[in-house]
Every structure is written in structure tokens, then in C-alpha cells.
Chains A and B, each alone.
Chain A
């Protein structure tokens, strides 16, 4: 228990630290596990890990359940056929390329074709998953918007489910191929068929029951208890009757979310809030199981092949899928670059594989996935950034505040505004400004030094008497500037200054040579320019993604 407490505590701390470094928390959790576990400190013993096994199954069920919950009918309707095409292509692309190359390499190393196919298909299936968190974070950070961004959002939301399904099949096949099943080939096939079908049936059946119970559950606490109960039940029964428990929990989540979308929305939120410590402990224990010292040379080679093949597979698959789905050119060109991230689901599946396959085979899968997750998390986010930048989608979902933050006064100053000397007769001024539409005009001396401002509002007062404009001069109407800014002033600062002083405009002066006039900034003009820019960017983003849907 002390070890578990320490694991959760340090795991969370590690996750936070890695998050600071812009690496997903999962990697931090695994890293802490690595430190506490057999590789370094040896605090978490092999025995503890053994004892944690049932818990790990449960954690995997939670992952499966949450993925199933993503597969709401609306998701399919919203994302449409095009996204499904792209999803299948990039997922299968990674699956096939990784499967082939990892399989071939394994065959070259071990000379055992069955093992090669088994390892290839399991790792291939795992490789098709894309980690949403790290990918989506980059898109948010850069306020990306447009066809590429929309596609990435849709793909990462759904491809874990594809990975899970592929994995279930691959693991079934691998069980037969590695000869870890007992009996003849037909018996093995039957067992695999039962594992998959039975898992789905168990999940759906439990889903219907859970839905009935949840309908009567009054409060959060009892809802949470029922859901956790159902997940534990599915995991336990699944192990007992030997079905795929991850698939079963995914079917459970899928059933609930489609039977009662609104009620289950709350249910999934509850589980998400409850899940973090489970995941931390789970991933720490993943790290603790790793024995870096025990990593033999061929595992390193396979990890290397896996990374290359996954990258190539995702890239080619995404490209073919985008073309088949007739997506925008920027999507087929850059989508592959956005799908490298790999995290929780892949690691989870590798653990599931290690439980299924004893010996080197199981160890190799965990090792390879853990190592490649690390690599993928380092190259994944920067390559997403590169792709959205190249696709011209950075900053397309920007808000007015963001945009204002990005400018300086220099970007908005009106330097062509008319300025007047203080002795200019009002009559002359009225004649000259008739054709302009500024709200205020700067008043300068003959060296260009700012003396004040004469606003349209003040000028309007002189209309009270026609005679006034004949003998009044600009000096009579001018106000001393309430404040002034320079071109270097951040626009946001100028805007908040105008709001504070309740003025519509501010004169802009040079910073170095005293108060020499540069021009004027007006709140109204800034607002218009900002709205135009927002409109332009949103049109680029919406226009093309509307075309996408």
C-alpha cells in the first residue's frame, strides 16, 4: 500500500514535470515508474507488480470504456464518410506497414515466421492509435483552424477505437500463431472468435443493465459506484469466461452512450474525473515493469523499425485516405505529420499484450511500445506544429483579444491623418476635413511637435454660430492630449488606456525626439481592422472546412 501511495504521488509529480516540458503526462508517469522499478531503484518489486495485475486489467477497462464512449452516433454523422475513409486509411496504413516491416525484421532476426507474423500484427495494431491529448493541445495552442485541423480532430477522436478493434483481432491471431493456445488450430480459432464475440456480447449486455440501473440512480455518488461496479463486473466476468475485456468495456461504453446520450454524458464525466489516479498508477506500473537493462539488441532494432514504419505508414495511409475522401490538398499533404503522437492507449494495449503473452514476446511488446512512445511524444507535437503552420492554419481560430495582443500601435497607426497648426482658422479646418472620416485631428507646431488634439465632437460645437468659424482658430478648439502612445506601445495597452480615459483616440508620438507627431490611433478603426482580420481568418478556416464536411 505504501508503495502504491508513493507510486501515485511521484507518478503525478513526474507527469506534471513532463507536462511543463510539453511532453504528455503519460511519459512522465512511465519515467517515474522506471525510476522506482526494476531498472533503477527497485522500490517496486516484481511481486508488487504481480499483485497489481488485476488492477491493471481494471485500468485497461476504464480506457476501453472511455474510448467506447467517444463512439456516439453523432460522431459518425458529424464527421461523415470522408473522415471514416481517412481514418481507415491512416490506421490501416500504419497497421500494414508496421506489420510488414516489424514482421519481416523479426523473421530475419529469429527465423520464426509464426512469431514474426504475431509480433508484426500486434505491434501494427498498436501503432494505429494516435494520442489525442498531445496532438489536440498543439492545435489549441496555435489556435489552428481549417480543413487540416478539422480532420485531425475527427481522426484522433476515433482512431483509438480502430486500434482497439485491430488489436483484438491481432492478439487473437497471435495467440494461435505463438502456439500459446492449447489444442488444434480449429480450437484456437474458435477460442479467438469467442474472445471477440463474447467480449462484445458481454459489454452490450452489461451496458443494457447499467443503463437500467443508472436511470434510477439519483445522485453522482451512486452513479459512480454503479459504473465502477459495472466495469469491475465486466473485467471480472470477462477474465472468468475468457473474453477480451478491453473490447467488452469498449462495447459497454458504446452501448451506454448510444442508449442514453444525455444521461451517459454525465456518467462519462464522472469516470473521467475519477480516472486520473488509476491511470497514474497504471502507467507507473508500466514503467516499473520495464527493465531497460534487460532490453536486448534486437528489441532496440525493432523499436527503430517500428518508429520508421509507423511514420511512413501513417503518412502514406493519410495521404491515400485524403485523396480517396477528396479532402483539401493541404490535408493530403500534411495530415500524416499530425498523427505521430502515441501514448496511453498504445501503452495500455502493450500491457494487455504482455499479460497475454509470456516470455520475451510479451516483454518485447512493452519495451518497444514504451520506447517508441517516448520517441513519438518528442517528435509528435513539433511535427503537428510544423504541419499546421505549413498548411496555413495557425491562428485561424484566433479571438479578438488574441489578435489585439499580437499587434503594436505601429500596426494600426494612421499616419495620413491631417494635422493642423494652432493658428489655422476654423473655417479652413472645416473645409479640409469635409472629405475625411477621422474622429480627431492632431495639432502640431511648425516643428511637428504634438500640441493637442482637435476632435470632431468639439468642432461640431462651433456650428452653434456661423460667425465663430470665422474668427476662431484651431487653438481655441484644441484639447491637450489626455495621453499619448508611441509606435512601440503594445496595441492592447493603447486600447485599455483609451477605455480607461474614455476617449476614442490617442495621438502617437515618437519615443526618441520629444513629442513629434507620428499619427493617430482610433478605437473605432482598431475595432474595424480587427473584425476584418477575424472575418478573413475565419473565412479561410470555415470556408474550406465547410467544403470538407
Chain B
């Protein structure tokens, strides 16, 4: 699985906001253009519903909000970086989240969904990649780091 099939340059951003809801809104904005058949509101609602069950802040400064949506035909990934961190993300380890990766997949593509999650988590496990990302100056640098993460 190649992350580049789902993550494009313009879907990597440096976050402006510092609260969880605002951050998620920013990431949704990134994806709005490619959401055929699904409204912004629907996407936001299902992300929040999922976060209500259990926060996707998995520790080490990483968060992976993820949803499956009826009506989508492709999977998309959006990445937001916050150097200061998002303190209210409710991560498992209580630390602020710095790297937020939003994964959106079609309802029926369960395997792809899990693979994307596994790929993202697998990449971010590497502390070298994490520091390269958090120290990057531009979104392009972050994008390149992520895409070549396995190299």
C-alpha cells in the first residue's frame, strides 16, 4: 500500500487552531473538495461520533481520527501538524497531540480502511520520522517525509 495514493501535497497543512474541534474542522476543509456525495456536516458528525466513543489520540503526540462513510467512492488522508500541540485531544498518554492524521474511507472498503490505519500508525511509530515532521518548516517537507517514510 502506497500512502501517496491517498495523501496528496495539498492535503498536508500546518494547523492554525489549537483545540480539537477546530483542528478537525480545518482538516475537513482540506478534504471538502473531494467529498463527492457526502456533506461537510456528515463528515464532521461521524468524526465526532467516533471521537465520543474513544479518543483517537494514541499517544506519542499522534492522533488518527478515522471514519468510514456511506456514499464515498475513494479513501482520503489529510495531515495537520501543530508544533505547539493540541492539549485537549484527550490522548491516551495525556500529552498534547502534534501530528493529526485524518483517514476517511468508503463504508464498504473495510480492508483498505484498516490497511490505511495500520500504514499510518506503522510510519509514525518511528521517532526519527516524527521528529523530521515536527521540525519541518513547510508542508511540502512534511509531505515528502511522510511519503518517503519507509525509505
Contact = CB atoms under 8 A, between A and B. Distances in A.
A468 B117 CA distance: 8
Contact of B53 (A422, A462, A468, A470): A422
Interface string A452-476: 0000001001101101101111011
Nearest to B66: A476
A423 interface: yes
Contacts of B117: 465, 468, 472, 476
A134 B44 CA distance: 72
B129 interface: no
B57 to A, nearest CB: 8
A399 to B, nearest CB: 37
A456 to B, nearest CB: 13
A473 B54 CA distance: 7
Nearest to A473: B54
Residue picked from B92, B117, B125, most chain A C-beta under 10 Å: B117
B114 A468 contact: yes
Contacts of A472: 117
B118 A458 contact: no
A475 B122 contact: no
Residue picked from A462, A468, A471, A475, most chain B C-beta under 10 Å: A471
Contacts of A476: 50, 66, 113, 117
A70 interface: no
B126 interface: no
A475 B114 contact: no
Contacts of B113: 476
B82 interface: no
Contacts of A461: 110-111, 114-115
B118 A468 contact: yes
A451 to B, nearest CB: 11
Interface residues of A, number: 19
Interface in A467-520: 467-468, 470-473, 475-477, 479-480
A448 interface: no
A76 B90 CA distance: 86
A425 B58 contact: no
Contact of A465 (B50, B56, B111, B122): B122
B63 to A, nearest CB: 9
B64 interface: yes
Contacts of A464: 114-115, 118
Contact of A473 (B53, B110, B114, B125): B53
Nearest to B91: A471
Contacts, number: 48
Nearest to B110: A458
Contacts of B54: 423, 425, 471, 473
A471 B122 contact: no
A473 B56 CA distance: 10
Nearest to B54: A473
A237 B88 CA distance: 113
A423 B58 contact: no
A470 B117 CA distance: 12
B35 interface: no
B58 A470 contact: yes
A370 B115 CA distance: 82
Contacts of B50: 475-476
A422 B122 CA distance: 24
Contact of B58 (A467, A475, A477, A479): A467
Nearest to B57: A471
A465 B121 CA distance: 8
Interface string B100-124: 0000000100110111011001100
Interface in B94-151: 107, 110-111, 113-115, 117-118, 121-122, 125
Given A423-B54, A473-B54, A468 B121 contact: yes
Contacts of B64: 471
Contact of A475 (B53, B110, B111): B53
Contacts of A471: 54, 56, 58, 64, 92, 121
Contacts of B118: 464-465, 467-468
A462 B121 CA distance: 12
A432 to B, nearest CB: 17
B114 A423 contact: no
A11 to B, nearest CB: 64
B11 to A, nearest CB: 21
Contacts of B125: 467
Nearest to A471: B58
Contacts of B66: 476
Interface in B51-109: 53-54, 56, 58, 64, 66, 92, 107
B58 to A, nearest CB: 4
Nearest to A459: B114
Nearest to B122: A465
Given A422-B53, A467-B121, A471-B56, A479 B92 contact: no
Interface string B10-39: 000000000000000000000000000000
A502 to B, nearest CB: 13
Contacts of A465: 117-118, 121-122
Contacts of A462: 114
A465 B110 CA distance: 15
Nearest to A462: B114
17 contacts: A461-B111, A461-B114, A464-B114, A465-B121, A467-B118, A467-B121, A467-B122, A468-B114, A468-B118, A468-B121, A471-B54, A471-B92, A473-B53, A475-B53, A476-B113, A479-B110, A480-B107
Interface of A: 422-423, 425, 458, 461-462, 464-465, 467-468, 470-473, 475-477, 479-480
In the A-B complex, list the 9 residue pairs whose CB atoms are closest, starting with the nearest. A465-B118, A423-B53, A471-B58, A464-B118, A461-B114, A467-B121, A473-B54, A475-B53, A473-B53
Given A465-B122, A468-B117, 10 more contacts: A423-B53, A458-B110, A461-B115, A468-B118, A468-B121, A471-B121, A475-B50, A477-B110, A479-B110, A480-B107
